[in-house]
Amino acid sequence: MEFNAYGIGLIPVIVIFVEVLKQVLNVPKRILPLINIFLGQIAAFVYVAPGEPKQAVLIGLVMAFSAMGLWSGAKSTVGK
């Protein structure tokens, strides 16, 4: 398994997509982490590591948890 940084650009996309779902469709907040994980897995399996399922699962989880942390960190910094 070699290191690549292809999935880093998808993390803000996941954050934006989940925020749009929350604002437009009024998705309950308790479901948002599951949506983050789902989107991270889809992005990893389709774009980052399409032929390597073990690597895709790990990268998808890292992208999802990074998206959750990026949002909560930005929210606490701004003071929302």
48-58 tens-digit pLDDT? 888 999 999 99
pLDDT at 77: 76
DSSP string, 27-77: --GGGHHHHHHHHHHHHIIIII-TT-HHHHHHHHHHHHHHHHHHHHHHHHH
pLDDT of 23-68, one tens digit each?
999 999 899 999 999 999 999 999 988 899 999 999 999 999 898 8
| Helices 32-43, 10-24: crossing angle, 10 deg rounding | 140
Among 34, 59, 36, 37, which residue's Cα sits nearest to residue 47?
59
Going from N- to C-terminal start, the domains of the chain cover 8-75
> Residue 60 and residue 46: Cα distance in Å, rounded?
10
